[in-house]
């Protein structure tokens, strides 16, 4: 798994998403092609980062956890302009591209 900004030209076609999709939410596309958005996508990314199976994704599927994380994701997305951020990957002269197998 890898994480890439949607502004890299190949990402949208590779993931089968539109600019509008990606401007509205974070996305995770699994090797099987399943697409997950918002808090579900963030949990998949955390699972990949910690490398211990699907701990975060399994916790996300618990009813109260899911509602809480979905609410928090919507809150952060609505107020994202107030949070600090950087764009080094977007500004990179030569962004990384995956090797096709």
Residue range 21-56, pLDDT digits in tens: 988 899 998 888 899 999 999 999 999 888 878 899
State the pLDDT at residue 101.
45
Kindly tell me if the per-residue pLDDT of 18 is higher than 80. Answer: yes
Between the CA of residue 18 and those of 7, 13, 14, 93, what are the distances in Å? Answer: 11, 8, 11, 23
| Distance separating the N- and C-terminal Cα atoms of the chain | 14
Alpha-carbon distance 5 to 17, whole Å?
A: 12
State the pLDDT at residue 94.
56
Considering the chain, what is the average pLDDT of its residues? Answer: 83
pTM of the model: 0.76
């Amino acid at each position: 798994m890898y994480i890439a900004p949607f502004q890299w030209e190949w990402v949208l076609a590779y993931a089968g998403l539109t600019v509008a999709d990606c401007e509205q939410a974070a996305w995770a596309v699994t090797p099987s092609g399943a697409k997950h958005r918002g808090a579900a996508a963030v949990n998949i990314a955390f699972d990949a980062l910690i490398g211990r199976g699907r701990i975060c994704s399994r916790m996300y599927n618990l009813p109260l956890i899911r509602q809480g994380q979905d609410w928090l994701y919507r809150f952060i997305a609505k107020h994202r302009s107030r949070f600090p951020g950087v764009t080094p990957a977007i500004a990179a002269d030569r962004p990384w591209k995956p090797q096709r197998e």
